A and B are shown apart, each in its own frame.
Chain A
Amino acid sequence: AQSVTQLDSQVPVFEEAPVELRCNYSSSVSVYLFWYVQYPNQGLQLLLKYLSGSTLVKGINGFEAEFNKSQTSFHLRKPSVHISDTAEYFCAVSDWSRAGNMLTFGGGTRLMVKP
């Protein structure tokens, strides 16, 4: 089965600074990869996804992520964060070892943007 590791549980950063949220997954077989954002007391919203093609994926709100197959990573980046980016971010990977159309989620990274 797949496992997903988000290496940082919390990332504090000042407003307008760049940020990288790290995500590694366990299996090197063909995967689909996703980043979701969750604001307090809300559901998850898709930021971006990698299915195939270019390894650099652009998403909403100025975020982008790079798929690195050799390092089994899918790190999320933003060149300049805003206060409104404060939220929980989840990395997810397709898990073909499980029946059905399943995703395995990482434990989440709390991004805290300070003024």
Chain B
Amino acid sequence: DGGITQSPKYLFRKEGQNVTLSCEQNLNHDAMYWYRQDPGQGLRLIYYSQIVNDFQKGDIAEGYSVSREKKESFPLTVTSAQKNPTAFYLCASSIGGPGDNEQFFGPGTRLTVL
């Protein structure tokens, strides 16, 4: 089955620690995205990548970093510089380029800072 996987589903972090969230897709999509979702709020874009070895900051990139070394993988690192990292994190992908830009979402990772 084609889709997007995120791991782990739940993640706990102590203050001051960096943590990396995994996102893998086997849809052969060029574009990938990371969103943050806080309770009762919509989605806010953290980073996106349109192609391998390239990525751009979204609306709330401070305290986060990403890499895109492989087409199918787009890991997100939440650094100690992120002041309020407790949230639900969603990864998505799309075909990329002009045309139908439907995004396909993973199941999410819930990060809690202890």
Q: Do A and B come from one complex?
A: yes
Question: Is A45 an interface residue, CB under 8 A from the partner?
Answer: yes
Mask for A88-115, Cβ within 8 A of B = 1, else 0?
0010101000011111011110100000
Instruction: Report A10 CB to chain B, min CB distance, Å.
Output: 9
* Docked CA distance A94–B98 (Å): 10
A101 touches B96 (CB 8 A): yes
The complex places the Cα of A102 from the Cα of B94 at a distance, in Å, of 9
Is the pair B48, A103 in contact by a Cβ cutoff of 8 Å?
no
Q: With an 8 A cutoff between CB atoms, is B107 at the interface? A: yes
- As a 0/1 sequence over residues 34 to 64 of chain B, the CB contacts with chain A under 8 angstroms (1 = contact) are 0000001111010010100000100000000
Q: Are B31 and A100 in contact (CB under 8 A)?
A: yes
Q: Which residue of the partner chain, among B4, B90, B97, contacts A101 with CB atoms under 8 Å?
A: B97
Complex: chain B residue closest to A94, CB-CB: B101
Count class of interface residues, chain B: 20 to 34
- Indicate if the CB atoms of A105 and B42 lie closer than 8 Å: yes
In the complex, the answer to whether A41 meets B110 with C-beta atoms within 8 Å is: yes
* B102 contacts the other chain (CB 8 A): yes
Supposing A32-B101, A49-B102, A94-B101 touch, asked if A101 and B94 sit within 8 A by C-beta, the answer is yes
Interface size on A, residues (CB 8 A): 25
A51 on interface, CB distance cutoff 8 Å: yes
Partner of B107, one of A32, A34, A43, A103: A43
**Residues in A23-45 with C-beta less than 8 Å from chain B:** 32, 34, 36, 41-45
- Which residues of B come within 8 Å of A, CB atoms? 4, 6, 31, 40-43, 45, 48, 50, 56, 88, 90, 92, 94-98, 100-108, 110
